[in-house]
Structure 1
Amino acid sequence: MNAEEHLNSLLSLAGENELVEFKEAKKQFDFNKLGQYFSALSNEANLSNLPHAWLVFGVENKHNVVGTEYIASLARRNDLKREIAEKTTNRLTFINIHEVAHPQGRVLLFEIPAAPQGIPTAWNGHYFGRDGESLGPLNIEEIERIRTQNKAYDWSAAIVNGATLDDLDSTAIEQAKISYAKKNPKQADNLQHWDTKTFLNKAKLTINGAITRTAILLLGKPESSHWINPASTTITWILKDKDGIEKDYEHFSCPLLLSVNDIFNKVRNLKYRYMIEGTLFPEEVDQYDPY
């Protein structure tokens, strides 16, 4: 991003709004107020379905550049990122702090990330928002609108564009049919007459024949895991000694429907023996229950 060009585009706006705030901040700016603006602009970006919002220092409300001496060094700007993260939800902080040498003075562009889906951004435990140019508490309707975002989105049910039945493992599909028949005994006879596409639709692993992320995770070939990047399809088994030192490990990937059994077989279920009062014969129990 060209910071100078972006500054010019912000200066060309008719005025401040929920996503853009201008401040003179010629020398200093109250840290707590800065955090409140961070929370407010982050939440408003989320509600507007935009990736970020902007806080601009060195510009007055009428869009005249006056310059700022606030956090002049790169080291101080990095410190500010850390200080903001220490008081926000999930340590959210500025994406970047852009410095622009404008002819009328130095300008800082604080690039503020949108609140994550389902998680409003708080500052010191309080949620802030904006009504036009005004800073204030985020109202309850907006808080709930952000919080319910994850409920409306099922990551696992998303369609994997470009994936086909060729990306699925035939052995895993057959195992899925066996499990489906056990779970739905009334459909066992019909299952014999279904082709693979029909079965996967019935099992809700595909949607109208389209491959979902769930289908890739449970039934995908190992080389098909790239379809759901950057999510990881790997489960790692690690063996450690009594001192916590790693002695062995193994990675397991798609199809997870089959891999979970391989992982289970790697778990060492040791026998524990203990004496019960009144007998010389020890009782034996497994370290883990078999379920």
Structure 2
Amino acid sequence: MHPNHQLHHLLNGVGESEIVEFKEAKHTFSFDKLGRYVSALSNEANLKGLNSAWLVFGVNDRLQVVGTSFRKHARELQSLKKEVADKTTHRLTFIDIHTAQHPDGRVLLFEIPAAPQGMPVAWEGHYYGRDGESLGPLSIEEVERIRHQCRQRDWSSEICHGASLDDLSEEAIALARQEYVTKHPRLAEEVKIWDNATFLNKAKVTIKGQITRTAILLLGKPEASHWLNPASPTITWILKDRDGLERDYEHFSCPLLLSAEQMFRKIRNLKYRYMADASLFPEEVEQYDPFIIREALNNAIAHQDYELGGKVSVVEFEDGRLCFSNPGRFIPGSVENVIHSNAPETRYRNRFLTDAMVNFNMIDTIGSGIRKMFIIQKKRFFPLPEYQLDQERVQVTITGRVVDLNYARKLAELPNLTLEDIILLDRVQKRKSLTDDQARHLKRQGLIEGRKPNFHISAHVARHSDEKARYIRNRGFDDQHYKQLICDFIEEFGEARRKDIDGLLLDKLPDILDEHQKSNKIKNLLQSLKNQGVISPSGKRWRMSRR
């Protein structure tokens, strides 16, 4: 990416984070502090599964370009690489130092490579990391996470000693051949003359004719699943009604190449009919795009931690939701990292299994699957996929209907919003918290208003929808309006108790405030009027002040 484009991308992102740091550095910058940032950003990029992180000189804390004269000559920048390498472990140098020419001055972009697998990067013997925007020591747990990367074995590639081709399903092998040719059409004629042993070796499911755990998972007969004990090669489908009560269920076992398709056909993909609004919405669509079902299911199969002994679960709710879950930590760290990088993962828990699934056309490794799921939901005006990540489980919920018609209209009427912006707006609509950086980013574009944590969609968006009334209820009026109501009441009746004022204002304050916040708001309004000398307390009553 051109340096100017990269600078624009960073400035219009979510601000500073664990993998992006902006520094004014107009003339100089501490060499020791530069080294600590190199260590921290390199380690954080590794932990988040990214290829690199960024340190930017010539931009202040408000993300305004101010320009920098730091090491103005090219030879000075080149020598900086060696100076940094001499004091970091593994002699880490920058992938590159980019110079962007901005109208407001020269900007330097230091692209810092992720720490190598299994090897955290230290600066002068100390490991550094980031906690949000803060620089500090890398925690012992994070150091061990990086070091553990090289010790990880690929469970899916291990040999099932004693297993043979007789443990594999002929039906599954036939489907595997068909899908292999779809994935590799240029090999179609060769595949026809390969015997099963040759084919399975070529497809990277067996190793020199030996049956692997991957071969049993994808192609094994149901009775061959014992080779995987204590791992459970099981997909469980559960149908729940609108009250969350179980109505039906079914378990699917080896071979998962066949079972995944059987599981797909089990889901009742009904037609969803939009409310009449022909100018904005299509007439009807399937509740779930087939790509999304297959992507979520096959990702769960490919990336689950089989050594935890769990299973893949698919829960179908009659109210129009699908919930996929599997045991195992989400290796990229966060869904935002995956969407932002839009590139293949650098690490896989089950590399051998994922390679085989690529060859059988079940998944791909171009890194766009999750992003494509988000885009499909965006185009349907449905809520975005909802990920819940913890240390030992990944869960994604897909909603196959419009939940908030007004929000859907916003997406339809503002087609140029970026996916990143829509993800943040989706959080606002779902009343989920935003970080300070995310809130600043949306506010800079005029997309939200309000104070943390009570953000709401701004007029800029509300004007494009039927949500104007809701916008006013959320925004409320300025304080002077409420103060005047209080004064009018007291002047009319001579005095007012607090419960009188509550009755006057509670239903007029912004809907986005809860009852406690509304009560505090009224308390602050009364205190302000008192401080201004407009009203005064008399016991438990308020009266107009004598002037």
TM-score (norm 1): 0.56
Q: Does 1:208 align with 2:215?
A: yes
**Aligned to 2:55, what secondary structure does the other structure show?**
strand
More helix by share: 2
Q: 1:34 maps to what in 2?
A: 34
Q: Does 1:65 align with 2:65?
A: yes
Which residues in structure 2 correspond to 1:59-208 (within 5 Å)? 59-154=59-154, 157=157, 200-201=209-210, 207-208=214-215
Given residue 99 of structure 2, which amino acid in structure 1 is its aligned partner? E
Q: Distance in 2 between matches of 1:31 and 1:198?
A: 51
Q: Distance in 1 between matches of 2:110 and 2:208?
A: 52
Q: Distance in 1 between matches of 2:39 and 2:137?
A: 10
Task: Give the deviation of 1:208 after TM superposition.
Answer: 1.9
**Aligned to 1:149, what secondary structure does the other structure show?**
helix
Cα 1:106/1:199, change in 2 over 3 Å:
closer
Q: Deviations over 1:252-286 (max 9, x none)?
A: xxxxxxxxxxxxxxxxxxxxxxxxxxxxxxxxxxx
Q: Distance in 2 between matches of 1:148 and 1:134?
A: 25
Q: Deviations over 1:167-189 (max 9, x none)?
A: xxx9xxxxxxxxxxxxxxxxxxx
Contact 1:41 1:112 in 2 (8 A): yes
**Aligned to 1:130, what secondary structure does the other structure show?**
strand
Cα 1:147/1:102, change in 2 over 3 Å:
same
Q: 2:394 maps to what in 1?
A: none
Which residues in structure 2 correspond to 1:217-256 (within 5 Å)? none
Task: Give the deviation of 1:130 after TM superposition.
Answer: 0.3
Contact 1:201 1:207 in 2 (8 A): no
Cα 1:199/1:5, change in 2 over 3 Å:
closer
Cα 1:97/1:153, change in 2 over 3 Å:
farther
Q: Could you tell me the percent identity over the aligned residues?
A: 55
Q: 1:4 maps to what in 2?
A: 4
Q: Distance in 2 between matches of 1:207 and 1:155?
A: 9
Which residues in structure 2 correspond to 1:276-291 (within 5 Å)? none
Q: Distance in 2 between matches of 1:40 and 1:155?
A: 31
Q: Distance in 1 between matches of 2:78 and 2:87?
A: 15
Q: 2:221 maps to what in 1?
A: none
Q: Distance in 1 between matches of 2:55 and 2:132?
A: 14
Cα 1:16/1:82, change in 2 over 3 Å:
same
Cα 1:155/1:199, change in 2 over 3 Å:
closer
Contiguous gaps of at least 5 residues in structure 2: 159-182, 199-205, 219-350, 353-547
Q: Distance in 1 between matches of 2:207 and 2:50?
A: 39
Q: Deviations over 1:128-160 (max 9, x none)?
A: 0000000000011111111101122449949xx
Q: Distance in 1 between matches of 2:66 and 2:207?
A: 67
**Aligned to 1:9, what secondary structure does the other structure show?**
helix
Aligned length: 184
Task: Give the deviation of 1:9 after TM superposition.
Answer: 1.0
Q: Distance in 2 between matches of 1:21 and 1:199?
A: 49
Task: Give the deviation of 1:207 after TM superposition.
Answer: 4.8
Given residue 46 of structure 1, which amino acid in structure 2 is its aligned partner? N
Q: CA RMSD in A?
A: 3.4
Task: Give the deviation of 1:32 after TM superposition.
Answer: 0.5
Q: Distance in 1 between matches of 2:11 and 2:73?
A: 24
Contact 2:156 2:214 in 1 (8 A): no
Given residue 9 of structure 1, which amino acid in structure 2 is its aligned partner? H
**Aligned to 1:13, what secondary structure does the other structure show?**
coil
**Aligned to 2:25, what secondary structure does the other structure show?**
coil
Specify which structure has the bigger relative contact order, considering alpha-carbon pairs within 8 angstroms and separated by 6 or more residues: 1
Given residue 100 of structure 1, which amino acid in structure 2 is its aligned partner? A
Task: Give the deviation of 1:114 after TM superposition.
Answer: 0.3
**Aligned to 2:53, what secondary structure does the other structure show?**
strand
Task: Give the deviation of 1:39 after TM superposition.
Answer: 0.3
Cα 1:15/1:116, change in 2 over 3 Å:
same
Task: Give the deviation of 1:89 after TM superposition.
Answer: 1.2
Given residue 208 of structure 1, which amino acid in structure 2 is its aligned partner? A
Task: Give the deviation of 1:55 after TM superposition.
Answer: 0.2
Cα 1:199/1:111, change in 2 over 3 Å:
closer
Contiguous gaps of at least 5 residues in structure 1: 171-196, 215-291
Contact 1:46 1:117 in 2 (8 A): yes
Contact 1:16 1:133 in 2 (8 A): yes
Given residue 101 of structure 1, which amino acid in structure 2 is its aligned partner? Q
Q: 2:17 maps to what in 1?
A: 17
Given residue 88 of structure 1, which amino acid in structure 2 is its aligned partner? T
**Aligned to 2:14, what secondary structure does the other structure show?**
coil
Q: Distance in 1 between matches of 2:207 and 2:60?
A: 64
Task: Give the deviation of 1:29 after TM superposition.
Answer: 0.5
Contact 2:119 2:147 in 1 (8 A): yes
Cα 1:104/1:150, change in 2 over 3 Å:
same
Q: Deviations over 1:50-87 (max 9, x none)?
A: 00000000000100101000011111111000111111
Contact 1:35 1:84 in 2 (8 A): yes
Task: Give the deviation of 1:198 after TM superposition.
Answer: 9.9
Contact 1:24 1:60 in 2 (8 A): yes
